[in-house]
Amino acid sequence: MGQMRGKASLAFERPPVILSSGSVAGSKEGQGPLGPFFDRVETDDRMGEDSWELAESAMQRQAARIALKKAGLFPADVRYAFAGDLLGQLIATSFGNLDLAVPLFGLYGACSTMGEAMGLGAMTVAGGFGDRVLAMASSHFATAEKQFRFPLAYGNQRPLSATWTVTGCGAVVIGAGTEPAADRGNGCGVRLPSTCGLARIAGITTGRLVDVGARDSMNMGAAMAPAAFHTIEQNLEDFGVDESWYDRIVTGDLGEVGSRILLDLMREKGRDLSGIHMDCGVEIYDKEKQDTHAGGSGCGCSAVTLCAQILPRLQDGTWRRVLFVPTGALLSTVSFNEGQTIPSIAHGVVLEHID
């Protein structure tokens, strides 16, 4: 049991490797700073489908196919898919994964889902339960607005603390890295040495529910910041390191407001994250030009930023070690309308450059 660290972390003795990634983003995300780095940008956010939900499903299907193709794999080469989205009963995942026909674990961690999927995927590979798995998460502005807020045509005003749900899906293929991959060509010959991966998953820190009594669904950054704080602190404690161990600590979708709260909470603990912290929700849109208020959110936010920005910098060695912490606000319209609080959760993934 040498892989357990502290209360909530694992350090993998044989770290799984992210073999490839696939990102599909919507039109607004394509116009943002990360636009050139997505594998695919949709100009039609409906993607020719009959509904927004089917469009989100199509994004999952495409992101998975792109990630598989880049690794030179067919769906049958993947043992499991770990996938989720924000919608009630995970319909984007259910319809998006039908064609893949891969054994599926459906996950819900709100916008932390990519961290949850990568954590379970890495455990699966590290435990010898699968040579390769898919981990992915999606969100769509139009499906999320319909699910959680107001009809699009209503054009409601949004406070400055509100975030904009990212339209997109990010998928990664996680593998053991050092063993034979499919012999259909992957740019590295028939075998896939670990140096072909984008990054190593050195460990994970699994979040627990944190509820600070937040009730404002238009300020989810404030609800999620304490969960991010808890998971980051737990990670540092479990691994016996301080924040300088990481080149970047990247949260999922705290946005401007939540990021400030996280930095304040960290400062109270004597940690200065100002030069290290980055938030996918802040990165994905151009604050000045795109009118997205506090930034981006949604499962897709951290998932596509991982694929478009974080993994490339880990691969080229700009960053050597990153703590990736997708954050989720666990509310539904039912719990919100019943006056409940918004519990949150954040799942950490330790990503390392492969030398």
Backbone angles phi, psi at 160, to 5 degrees: -65, -20
CA distances from 309 to 36, 64, 184, 205, 305 (A): 10, 18, 27, 22, 5
Rounded least distance, CB 120 to a second copy, Å: 7
Q: Would you count residue 120 as binding a second copy (CB under 8 A)?
A: yes
Q: Residues 6 or more apart from 67 whose CB is under 8 A from it?
A: 20, 21, 22, 134, 136, 171, 172, 173
Q: Would you count residue 11 as binding a second copy (CB under 8 A)?
A: no
Which of 23, 97, 163, 165: binder of a second copy (CB under 8 A)?
97
How many chain residues bind a second copy (CB under 8 A)? 62
Q: Residues 6 or more apart from 88 whose CB is under 8 A from it?
A: 147, 332
Q: Would you count residue 153 as binding a second copy (CB under 8 A)?
A: no
Which of 22, 207, 258, 326: binder of a second copy (CB under 8 A)?
207
Which of 29, 45, 131, 279: binder of a second copy (CB under 8 A)?
131
- Asked if 114 and 306 count as a contact pair (C-beta separation under 8 A), the reply is yes
Q: Which two tokens stand for residue 209?
A: 């529910």
Rounded least distance, CB 85 to a second copy, Å: 10
The residue among 244 and 333 lying less far from a second copy, judged by its C-beta, is 333
Reported as type and span, the H/E element at residue 117 is helix 113-126
Give just the sign of the alpha carbon dihedral 65, 67, 69, 73: negative
The residue among 63 and 90 lying less far from a second copy, judged by its C-beta, is 90
Q: Please report the beta strands in 140-215, taking only residues with DSSP state E, as ranges in sequence order.
A: 164-165, 168-175, 199-205
Q: Are strands 248-251 and 327-329 parallel, antiparallel or unpaired?
A: unpaired
Q: Would you count residue 199 as binding a second copy (CB under 8 A)?
A: no
Q: Would you count residue 152 as binding a second copy (CB under 8 A)?
A: no
**Residue that the structure tokens 């974080």 belong to:** 310
- Asked if 344 and 330 count as a contact pair (C-beta separation under 8 A), the reply is yes
The residue among 29 and 131 lying less far from a second copy, judged by its C-beta, is 131
Q: Would you count residue 94 as binding a second copy (CB under 8 A)?
A: yes
Q: Would you count residue 345 as binding a second copy (CB under 8 A)?
A: yes
What is the rounded CA–CA span in Å between residue 312 and residue 307? Answer: 7
Which of 27, 31, 51, 315: binder of a second copy (CB under 8 A)?
51
The residue among 230 and 248 lying less far from a second copy, judged by its C-beta, is 230
Which of 4, 160, 190, 241: binder of a second copy (CB under 8 A)?
4
Which of 109, 258, 281, 298: binder of a second copy (CB under 8 A)?
109
Rounded least distance, CB 11 to a second copy, Å: 11
- Among 33, 20, 21, which residue's Cα sits nearest to residue 296? 33
The residue among 8 and 201 lying less far from a second copy, judged by its C-beta, is 8
Q: Which two tokens stand for residue 336?
A: 């919100």
Rounded least distance, CB 211 to a second copy, Å: 6
- Asked if 279 and 252 count as a contact pair (C-beta separation under 8 A), the reply is yes
The residue among 31 and 332 lying less far from a second copy, judged by its C-beta, is 332
What is the rounded CA–CA span in Å between residue 79 and residue 75? Answer: 9
Q: Would you count residue 73 as binding a second copy (CB under 8 A)?
A: no
Give just the sign of the alpha carbon dihedral 112, 115, 121, 123: negative
| Contacts to a second copy from residues 272-331, by CB under 8 A | 330-331
Q: Would you count residue 3 as binding a second copy (CB under 8 A)?
A: yes
Residues at the contact surface with a second copy, assessed by CB under 8 A: 1-4, 7-8, 10, 50-51, 53-54, 79-80, 84, 86-91, 94-95, 97-98, 101-110, 116, 119-120, 123-124, 126-131, 146-147, 206-209, 211, 330-335, 338, 340, 343, 345
